[in-house]
């Protein structure tokens, strides 16, 4: 159904005689645009123009060689004259083929660069006065070949790489004058040009498999990529410019094949059962290939944040003693072998795609995660294949997931939240999407671009989004469920503002896995994290280890197939946390009569003030309700009379005083729960996954051993 997004707009599009450009021209026309289409192929161009007119649209055009500036200037001026201006320029014309470098002569090299790179320069140069007059948009079509290179297509890859940086450059140069420029880099589209890239028998199979476009059933349809171009050119995203959208996806069968190759590559480096392999990389498909390759060979996946400080990274690597480190960061030499993703990719290319044949049991070690260090030194949490295989299944029934769902994870893949989204998508047969990095300004365009239906995130990220100016995109997405760990205090705000039917709160941890979740369709119980997921048991224990009745707070104990196997190389900590099959979480909470869990606080974060146990979480939740408070962290500080006094660290949205906040808290909390000490800050110390590092706040007040990192 047409939305009329481009009514009375004029589109100038190159390469419109077939493929992606034809689909884009038809879509813009259906959305109300007047289309001026050009191509060197007059017959194909005539078909495109006729199809638009038969559908009730408006289209003109003519033959144009984009490599010839005179031809381009003539076509652009004709378009502006016929339709009274230009609003959108789409450069989709392109040429290329697979060929060995020795086979590419100077003429072919020059022709490919002339069409693919000089062509967009010519059209932008010619159309610039018209686009500046209308504060218009440019969308250039590049390729993933321009992002990573492509064997047997050096000229094509070079031209597309140049186009990516040309787009960024003009976006920067003309941003202040209201002109936007963005780039689309597809991995493979079912268009006529694809026949030019059919691999030859004399090409090295591993290079073809790694770099060539996906097999046909995995390719994008031109109509789908046309929607992405329209999105970039629309008024829905006035803030997006200088962006290259990498339309790079991988089907499960392809991921499995690549993971087999990765497994063999690791085996060739001496990795076997139980050997740790550290993965310190940003979000990418290559991350998943490496991760599943590690698991397939029987290695132990050790995901690490590459941005950690040198001391903390040094501690983790010294403790884990990995045999191999794969990283896109420098300074990680504490392993037998350290590889960049590119070097590891080269090994993958030369490896077999046959299953590695390693026999793995549910008790074999699979993953070694290090806690985020919000309480100080990270602990190594070891999981088995049996426990990691359970994790993602918990969410399918609770959230009503189907293969049609698109799960968007905005945290890094080294974090359990995003890795859980990957596991859930695998079990549900759905799609998982993730950005290279989270940027609040790009969040809603990302949601629309990926057509996400389920969001995996953290309460702190949702709170950050709530502080931003409202966007028209917020109420028009396909999101139906948000799974936000720690989102309970802002649930109602999120649902109202973002138009989401269900915000699911859950309780879990790195060590325990997912424990509870508020199920789809269940009545909301304020403050609750939901009932236990299937297969998980809960107990609330007093200080003597005895079970407590409903509504009595104590330590949360969990019996779950998804929990840790042990703390790596720390038998004392393992013995203290695991008792008779139950994991002691070091968290405080209570259950209601139906078994729904209510989280109170971390045992470490409970403040003992004058004989009263005070929940820092309750105070933080209350203060966040103040309209001028963005973030807050509450800790206990030493007091010679009371034992501990309550101190609140506040990040304000707008100016606010301690007296105002004290009065606000006094109306909602018991007298002994109201903070006496206040400090206002521009920001709070956080981990890479946006968890507040309260131990750093304590260390400032109680100097001792400097924190790692």
pLDDT in tens, 240-286: 888 887 766 676 777 888 899 999 999 999 999 999 999 999 888 88
Angstrom distance (rounded) from CA 284 to CA 123: 33
Angstrom distance (rounded) from CA 584 to CA 602: 12
Angstrom distance (rounded) from CA 709 to CA 694: 15
Coil vs helix vs strand at 456 = strand
Angstrom distance (rounded) from CA 700 to CA 707: 10
Helical ranges in 487-615 per DSSP H = 491-498, 571-577
> Checking DSSP bridges between strand 607-609 and strand 612-614, what pairing results, if any?
antiparallel
- The two counts, helices (H) then strands (E), for the chain are 23, 32
Q: Does residue 707 surpass a pLDDT of 60?
A: no
Q: Which residues are CB-contacts of 50 (< 8 A; sequence separation ≥ 6)? A: none
Which element (helix H / strand E) includes 367? strand 365-370
Angstrom distance (rounded) from CA 19 to CA 93: 10
Query: Which of 652-663 are b and which e, b meaning 16 or more Cβ less than 10 Å from the residue's Cβ?
Result: beeebeeeebee
pLDDT of amino acid 45 = 97
Q: Which of 131-135, 213-217, 404-408, 480-484 has the lowest mean pLDDT?
A: 213-217
Residue 321 zone, left/alpha/beta (φ > 0; ψ -120 to 50; rest) = left
pLDDT in tens, 413-451: 998 889 999 999 988 888 899 888 888 888 988 888 788
Arithmetic mean of pLDDT, 557-569: 95
pLDDT of amino acid 248 = 66
Angstrom distance (rounded) from CA 34 to CA 16: 14
CA atoms within 13 A on the CB side of 421: 30
For residue 178, the Cα-to-chain-centroid distance in whole angstroms is: 29
The domain defined by 606-701 folds into: GMP Synthetase; Chain A, domain 3 (3.30.300)
Q: Find the largest Cα–Cα distance for the chain.
A: 90
Angstrom distance (rounded) from CA 226 to CA 22: 9
CA trace torsion 334, 693, 699, 584 (10° rounding): -90
Angstrom distance (rounded) from CA 440 to CA 424: 24
pLDDT in tens, 156-201: 999 999 999 999 999 999 999 999 999 998 877 777 887 788 778 8
Arithmetic mean of pLDDT, 65-87: 98
Query: Which CATH number applies to 392-504?
Result: 3.40.50.980
Written as one string, the DSSP assignment of 664-677 is: HHHTTS-GGGS-SE
Q: Does residue 492 surpass a pLDDT of 70?
A: yes
Q: What percent of the chain clears pLDDT 70, i.e. is strictly above it?
A: 93
Active-site pick, 156, 211, 287, 695: 156
Angstrom distance (rounded) from CA 275 to CA 196: 43
Helices 19-30 and 42-54 meet at what angle, rounded to 10?
Answer: 20
Q: What does the domain layout of the chain look like in residue ranges?
A: 10-248, 253-360, 392-504, 606-701
The label of the residue with tokens 């003693």 reads 321
Backbone angles phi, psi at 346, to 5 degrees: -65, -35
352 versus 150: the higher-pLDDT residue is 352
The reply to whether 156 belongs to the active site is: yes
The answer to whether 147 and 185 are in contact (CB under 8 A) is yes
Tokens of 139: 């969308």
Fold equal for 10-248 and 253-360: yes
Coil vs helix vs strand at 89 = strand
DSSP state of 118: I
Q: Which residues are CB-contacts of 38 (< 8 A; sequence separation ≥ 6)? A: 12, 13, 14, 15, 16, 45, 61, 62, 63, 64, 66, 75
- Name which CATH class applies to 10-248: alpha beta
Written as one string, the DSSP assignment of 318-344 is: HHH--SEEEESSS----SSEEE-HHHH
Per-range mean pLDDT, top range of 111-115, 197-201, 402-406: 111-115
Angstrom distance (rounded) from CA 284 to CA 439: 16
pLDDT of amino acid 213 = 42
Angstrom distance (rounded) from CA 677 to CA 609: 13
Between the alpha carbon of residue 360 and those of residues 257, 275, 389, 530, 614, the distances in Å are 18, 14, 12, 34, 47
The answer to whether 635 and 605 are in contact (CB under 8 A) is yes
> Checking DSSP bridges between strand 554-559 and strand 537-541, what pairing results, if any?
antiparallel
Angstrom distance (rounded) from CA 286 to CA 379: 27
Angstrom distance (rounded) from CA 148 to CA 346: 12
Angstrom distance (rounded) from CA 62 to CA 72: 11
pLDDT in tens, 312-334: 788 899 999 999 999 987 666 66
Tokens of 629: 């408070």
Q: Which CATH number fits domain 253-360: 3.40.50.620, 3.40.50.300, 3.40.50.980, 3.40.1280.10?
A: 3.40.50.980
Q: Which of 17-21, 294-298, 299-303, 609-613 has the lowest mean pLDDT?
A: 609-613
315 versus 125: the higher-pLDDT residue is 125
pLDDT in tens, 652-695: 999 999 999 999 999 998 888 999 999 999 999 987 667 788 87
Per-range mean pLDDT, top range of 7-16, 281-290, 490-499: 7-16
């Amino acid at each position: 159904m047409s939305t009329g997004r481009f009514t009375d707009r004029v589109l100038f599009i190159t390469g419109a005689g077939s493929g992606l450009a034809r689909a884009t021209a038809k879509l813009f026309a259906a959305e109300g645009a007047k289309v001026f289409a050009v191509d060197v192929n007059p017959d194909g161009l005539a078909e495109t123009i006729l199809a638009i007119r038969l559908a009730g649209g408006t289209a003109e055009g003519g033959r144009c060689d984009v490599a010839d500036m005179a031809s381009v200037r003539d076509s652009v001026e004709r378009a502006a004259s016929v339709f009274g201006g230009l609003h959108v320029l789409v450069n989709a014309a392109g040429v290329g083929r697979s060929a060995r470098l020795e086979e590419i002569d100077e003429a072919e090299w020059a022709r490919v660069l002339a069409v693919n790179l000089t062509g967009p320069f010519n059209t932008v140069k010619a159309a610039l006065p018209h686009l500046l007059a209308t504060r218009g948009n440019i969308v250039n079509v590049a390729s993933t070949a321009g992002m990573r290179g492509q064997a047997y297509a050096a000229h094509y890859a070079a031209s597309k790489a140049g186009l990516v940086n040309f787009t960024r450059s003009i976006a920067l140069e003309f941003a202040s004058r209201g002109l936007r420029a963005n780039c689309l880099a597809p991995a493979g589209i079912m268009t006529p040009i694809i026949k030019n890239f059919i691999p030859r028998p004399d090409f090295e199979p591993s290079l073809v498999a790694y770099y060539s476009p996906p097999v046909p059933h995995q390719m994008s349809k031109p109509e789908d990529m046309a929607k992405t171009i329209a999105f970039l050119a629309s008024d829905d995203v006035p803030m997006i410019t200088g962006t290259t959208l990498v339309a790079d996806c991988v089907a499960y069968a392809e991921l499995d094949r690549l993971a087999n190759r990765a497994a063999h590559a690791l085996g060739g480096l001496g990795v076997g059962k139980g050997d740790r392999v550290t993965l310190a990389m940003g979000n990418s498909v290559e991350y998943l290939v490496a991760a599943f390759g590690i698991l397939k060979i029987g290695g132990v996946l050790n995901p690490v944040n590459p941005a950690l400080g040198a001391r903390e990274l040094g501690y983790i690597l010294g403790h884990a003693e990995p045999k191999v480190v794969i990283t896109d960061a420098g300074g990680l030499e504490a392993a037998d072998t350290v590889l960049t993703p590119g070097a590891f990719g080269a090994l993958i290319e030369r490896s077999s795609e046959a299953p590695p044949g390693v026999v793995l049991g549910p008790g074999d070690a699979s993953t070694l995660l290090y806690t985020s260090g919000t309480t100080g030194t990270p602990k190594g949490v070891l999981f088995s294949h049996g426990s990691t295989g359970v994790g993602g299944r918990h969410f399918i029934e609770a959230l009503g997931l189907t293969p049609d769902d698109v799960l968007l994870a905005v945290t890094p893949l080294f974090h359990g939240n995003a890795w859980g989204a990957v596991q859930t998508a695998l079990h549900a047969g759905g799609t998982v999407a993730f950005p290279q990095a989270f940027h609040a300004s790009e969040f809603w365009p990302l949601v629309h671009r990926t057509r996400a239906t389920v969001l995996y995130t953290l309460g702190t990220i949702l709170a950050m989004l709530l502080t931003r100016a409202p966007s028209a995109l917020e109420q028009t997405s396909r999101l139906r469920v948000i799974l936000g760990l720690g989102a309970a205090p802002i649930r109602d705000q999120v649902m109202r503002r973002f138009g989401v039917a269900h915000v699911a709160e859950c309780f879990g941890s790195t060590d325990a896995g997912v424990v509870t979740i508020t199920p789809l369709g269940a009545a909301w119980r304020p403050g609750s994290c939901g009932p236990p997921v299937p297969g998980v048991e809960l107990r609330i224990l007093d200080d003597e280890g005895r079970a407590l009745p409903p509504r009595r707070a104590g330590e949360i104990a969990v019996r779950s197939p998804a929990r840790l196997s042990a703390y790596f190389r720390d038998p004392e900590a393992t013995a203290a946390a695991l008792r008779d099959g139950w994991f002691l979480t070091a968290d405080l909470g209570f259950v209601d009569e139906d078994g729904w869990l209510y989280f109170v606080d971390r045992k470490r974060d409970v403040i003992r003030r004058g004989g009263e146990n005070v929940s820092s979480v309750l105070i933080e939740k209350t203060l966040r309700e103040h309209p001028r408070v963005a973030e807050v962290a509450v800790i206990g500080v030493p007091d010679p009379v009371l034992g501990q006094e309550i101190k609140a660290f506040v990040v304000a949205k707008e100016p606010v005083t301690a007296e105002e906040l004290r009065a606000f808290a006094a109306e909602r909390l018991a007298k002994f729960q109201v903070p006496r000490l206040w400090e206002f800050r521009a920001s709070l110390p956080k981990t890479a996954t946006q968890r507040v590092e309260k131990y750093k706040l304590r260390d400032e007040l109680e100097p001792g051993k400097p924190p790692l990192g």
